[in-house]
Amino acid sequence: MNRFILRRLLQSALVLLVMSFVIYGLIGLMPGDPLDVMVASVPGVTPEQIARLRAIYGLDQPLMLRYFHWLMAALQGDLGYSRSHSVPVLAVLAPALWTTCKLMLISFVAAVALSFVLGITAALKPGGWLDGAIGLVAFAGISVPVFWLALMMILVFAVELHWLPASGGFTVGDGGFVDQFRHLVMPVTTLALATTGGFTRFVRASMIETLRADHIRTARAKGNPPSRVVLVHALRNAMIPVLTVMALSFGSLFSGALLTETMFAQPGMGKLIYDAILSNDFNLALSGLLFATLITLLANLAADLAYAWLDPRIKL
Amino acid sequence: MSIRVTVAALGLLVGLSSSGTGQLVTPAMARDSLTIGISQFPPSLHPGIDPLVIKSYVDAFVTRPMTAYDANWTLQCMLCTKLPTIDNGGAVFETLPDGTRGIAVTFTLKPGLKWGDGVPVTSKDIVFTWKVGGDPKSGYSIPHPWERAKSVEAVDDRTVIFHLDHIDTSYNNWSQLLPEHLEAEAAKGENAGDYGKASLYARQPINPGLYNGPYIVTSYETSAQIVLEANPYWPGPKPALKRIVLRDIENTAALQANLESGDIDMTPGEGVGLSIDQVIAMEKKEPEKFVYLYKPSLTYEHIDLQANNPLLADVRVRRALLLAIDRQTLVSKLFEGKQPVAASWVNPLDGNYTKDTANYPYDPAKARALLKEAGWTPGSDGVCRNAKGVPLQLEIATTAGNKLRELTEQVLISQWKASCIAVSVKNEQARTFFGETMRKRLYSGMAMYAWSSNVDESPRRTLHSSQTPTDANGWGGANYIAFANPQMDADIAAIEGELDAAKRRPVWAEMQRIYAEQVPVLPLFFRAEPYALPKWLKGFTATGHGDYSPLWAENWRAE
């Protein structure tokens, strides 16, 4: 087991190294640089001033040289300086990571819980009216764009009903637990609903297949109550493929968080990475994307470990 | 079971919604605070580094420049007692040791000025700012740079004399100061860029001593919100609003929803709030809910013409392009007439504007006649062709995704088509458009975009031949049309060296005449800054230029 974890961690490090090179190169291929925005929007800034700023930010150096400098510093724990926030990258990443993790984890737990309830319910009587209704809801969740869902939630619960705040993380002058919770309700619900649809379909499909397996028939024949057959014998086996999907969904959850954070003005990683890419803040964009990659890799590792726990036949 | 869970969940939601006072208390109800929704977040609040619009907007609440143009586009003292001019003797010509002619400008700070930590604002701060601002390593990049002064002499605690070694029309226009008592340590860095990293504006943005305006920053949450509260040491009129919150909501649809829900009270018009079509739509939908304000600005929407395109070499073709489009109807239909049609880059609100130039009202018959005169006759497909059979076909490029520009393009293309000019679209993402296509003058025919200028700013960067971006000058300059007219170059030099406004005015008029006759650019309109303001907010004044409305935020009050 330990060798497996060590091997996977080394593989992850290699993936991160390759990803850092690819991401840096891709951002570098984008035309223009952040100073062009300044030239276009701020009158009177001279070409000399722009040239000076390019030198200060290192934008006048070859891309590969900049990458090499970044990599050497990163290996020593220095992720560099964020040009667009005027502070070290870690100082911006840490609070944003906390916001996103909070949003992602709560949404993930909510989505998993909801999808298991819906997926199992649908699988118990495939083709029935409840299965059809749940399928409809699930497909709606999959197909509705996150930004539209977010906007509709704002319009209904903030603009029309005035039940919940439309944006932000807390109310200035309050900021207590209830206040922060109220600010999280809509973003979490939006992100969870967007994820639940896909999860529900996977849980349903996996459960239907497992419920037809021989060992389930045996369990039923042994007189186990239906709830035990479903929740203990079937669910454990059905979870193996579902876990893979859930682990892989961390990446898409990140992109969903981007939209959710932008719509609800939550200062999280998604919004931070998006802004960093747009403003050509190489250090910040790169570090943010690598963190996102790392989270996905670790989630996959956790899923592999969970397989062994769920099915003793699997050897790591 | 499931019904009970649903009821419990709904109960929780209702409970949450009615927690506290029973209803969501919006900032508007408090009335001693104002929440402004902004669509961008400033990289830092340093007044001299990275001068983005959003940064200047936020800084305007907390940091006062030495001087600023007011809502009437007249230069005023903000930190000084009297605006120094040649007429009042505050500025005098002087001959420097090397024989060149310069200007000595005397500024006296208003009495009682203090930083937010109670330390007085003095001449030391001016001298310090001049040193940092003029140091190439500091990264300073502002429209009126501090290096214009070759030396600064501190006469006493409140009086300084700037010595300029050349004649500069902006001799009495100077920007924000830095607190020497806080920033001196940061400015000791040896390497380029060290100052920006060490500056307290980046490391401690809530340090009150960094600000000398009516407000100070009390909370700074990156990419989320900035909270400003009244500066206890502000010597001017006490701000009526105790707190101003600037909330970053980048998606403008969400920004609009926040405005409608009351989560934010207003959106600014300075390009960091809602777009003009959103504000116009809101006004139609809810005319009574907000005060809607459209202030014509110095942002000039226009179409650059590619000088290297042989089809555009004939001035008659360029004039025909302008005569063939109905700009007045365009602004009336698309912008409800809120954005005035432009005749040149000089706004009619500017004192340098002249009506005495060639005019190009919508006249498709005249456009066709001009084309015929230039050798272009309509073919069987409705497109004009010259004697060699070359079709009059051009490309137009603009920023993809900008709904209003794309709509404008479609209207213009249909109008050109009626005058036998075929135009196809080649839009690009803003980054590519500005970062590559415009910067390197790669557009093939026409390029539609906008640029801003300062009040009374010389058009050197956009019209002087030396400012044409080329490979040789590292693609520096913003003369993307490669305009090279010796008379224009001479006029630009003349207005830059003449301090008498009365003598400059005819030169300005001549430049506008050359522009109108040569038609190197198709002028479209001046953008209006669209504000949605709460009805209770009084004392607000929009400026329409780069010295933004919050520079007078102490006058904002609830009624």
Say if the Cβ atoms of A162 and B546 lie within 8 Å.
Answer: no
> Over 90: is that where the pLDDT of B124 sits?
yes
CA distance B82 to chain A (A): 25
- pLDDT score of A39: 65
> ipTM value of the model?
0.72
Q: Which residues of chain A lie closer than 8 angstroms to B141, CB-CB? A: 38, 45-46, 49-50, 52-53
Chain B residue with minimal CA distance to A40? B451
- pLDDT score of B6: 46
CA distance B378 to chain A (A): 38
> Over 70: is that where the pLDDT of B428 sits?
yes
Q: What is the mean pLDDT of residues B190-207?
A: 87
Chain A residue with minimal CA distance to B226? A172
Domain count, chain A: 2
In 3D, which of B165, B180, B68 has the Cα closest to residue B132? B180
| B451 touches A: beta carbon within 8 Å | yes
Q: In this complex, which of B43, B56, B140 lies closest to A85 when CB atoms are compared?
A: B43
- Second-level CATH architecture of B297-528: Roll (3.10)
Per the structure, the complete domain to which residue A57 belongs is given by: 2-88
Co-location of A191 and A255 in the same domain:
yes
In 3D, which of A34, A78, A76 has the Cα closest to residue A56? A34
CA distance B411 to B418: 11
Q: Which of A209-223, A235-249, B126-140, B264-278 has the highest mean pLDDT?
A: B264-278
Mutate to test the interface with B, among A27, A33, A39 (most CBs of B within 10 A): A39
Domain for residue A185, yes or no?
yes
By DSSP bridging, strand B243-248 and strand B33-38 are parallel
- pLDDT score of A115: 93
Co-location of A301 and A252 in the same domain:
yes
Angle, in degrees to the nearest 10, between helices B501-518 and B315-323:
90
Q: In this complex, which of B142, B223, B476 lies closest to A271 when CB atoms are compared?
A: B223
Q: Is A65 exposed, middle or buried (0-12, 13-18, 19+ CB in 10 A)?
A: exposed
> Over 50: is that where the pLDDT of B198 sits?
yes
Q: Which residues of chain A have pLDDT under 70?
A: 32-34, 36-45, 313-316
Which residues, numbered 405 to 434 in chain B, qualify as contacts with chain A under a Cβ-Cβ cut-off of 8 Å?
431-432, 434
Co-location of A75 and A107 in the same domain:
no
CA distance A237 to chain B (A): 26
Co-location of A81 and A94 in the same domain:
no
B553: DSSP letter: G
| B168 touches A: beta carbon within 8 Å | no
Instruction: List CB contacts of A117: < 8 A, sequence separation 6 or more.
Output: none
Domain for residue A315, yes or no?
no
Q: What is the mean pLDDT of residues B122-135?
A: 94
Co-location of A42 and A121 in the same domain:
no
- pLDDT score of A37: 63
In 3D, which of A80, A101, A100 has the Cα closest to residue A91? A80
B166: DSSP letter: S
Q: Which of A151-165, A293-307, B2-16, B529-543 has the lowest mean pLDDT?
A: B2-16
Q: In whole numbers, what is the pLDDT of chain B averaged over residues?
A: 90
For residue range B90-105, what is the model confidence (pLDDT) as tens digits?
999 999 888 889 999 9
End-to-end CA gap in chain B: 53
Q: What is the mean pLDDT of residues B332-337?
A: 91
Q: Which residues of chain B lie closer than 8 angstroms to A177, CB-CB? A: none
Q: What is the mean pLDDT of residues B370-391?
A: 95
What class is the B64-195 domain? alpha beta
Q: Which of A176-185, A205-214, B36-45, B190-199 has the lowest mean pLDDT?
A: B190-199
The CATH number assigned to the domain holding A151 equals 1.10.3720.10
Both tokens of B138, joined, read 């500091």
> Over 60: is that where the pLDDT of B19 sits?
no
> Over 50: is that where the pLDDT of B13 sits?
no
Co-location of A17 and A155 in the same domain:
no
Which residues, numbered 316 to 355 in chain B, qualify as contacts with chain A under a Cβ-Cβ cut-off of 8 Å?
none
Q: Which residues of chain A lie closer than 8 angstroms to B253, CB-CB? A: 147, 151
Both tokens of B535, joined, read 């009805």
Q: Sign of torsion, CA A162 A167 A168 A169? A: positive
A154: DSSP letter: I
In 3D, which of B378, B387, B388 has the Cα closest to residue B422? B378
- Per-residue CA distances from B374 to B317, B384, B455 (Å): 7, 11, 38
Name the percent of chain B in helix, strand, coil, to the closest 5: 35, 20, 45
* Biggest CA-to-CA distance, chain A: 85
Q: In this complex, which of B192, B224, B451 lies closest to A267 when CB atoms are compared?
A: B224
Say if the Cβ atoms of A37 and B546 lie within 8 Å.
Answer: no
Query: Of the candidates A49, A72, A88, which is a domain's last residue?
Result: A88
Say if the Cβ atoms of B439 and A32 lie within 8 Å.
Answer: yes
Co-location of A141 and A263 in the same domain:
yes
Domain for residue A118, yes or no?
yes
Which residues, numbered 127 to 166 in chain B, qualify as contacts with chain A under a Cβ-Cβ cut-off of 8 Å?
136-137, 139-145
> Over 70: is that where the pLDDT of B67 sits?
yes
Both tokens of A242, joined, read 């579902």
The pTM of the full predicted model, rounded to 2 decimals, is 0.83
Domain for residue A54, yes or no?
yes
Residues of chain B with CATH 3.90.76.10: 64-195
Co-location of A43 and A173 in the same domain:
no
B475-B480-B484-B485 Cα dihedral, nearest 10 degrees: -140
Co-location of A31 and A111 in the same domain:
no
Q: Which residues of chain B lie closer than 8 angstroms to A178, CB-CB? A: 16, 19-20
Co-location of A190 and A303 in the same domain:
yes
Q: What is the mean pLDDT of residues B278-284?
A: 95
Q: Which residues pair with A311 in a beta bridge?
A: none
Q: Which residue has the higher pLDDT, A99 or B141?
A: A99
Q: Which residues of chain A lie closer than 8 angstroms to B223, CB-CB? A: 96, 267, 271-272, 275
pLDDT band at B275 (very low <50, low <70, confident <90, very high): very high
Q: What is the DSSP string of B221-268?
A: ETTTEEEEEE-TT--SSPPS-SEEEEEE--SHHHHHHHHHHTSSSBB-
Query: Of the candidates A39, A69, A88, which is a domain's last residue?
Result: A88
Co-location of A38 and A115 in the same domain:
no
Residues of chain B with CATH 3.10.105.10: 297-528
| B194 touches A: beta carbon within 8 Å | no
- pLDDT score of A231: 86
> Over 70: is that where the pLDDT of B3 sits?
no
Query: Of the candidates A56, A88, A120, which is a domain's last residue?
Result: A88
Co-location of A202 and A263 in the same domain:
yes
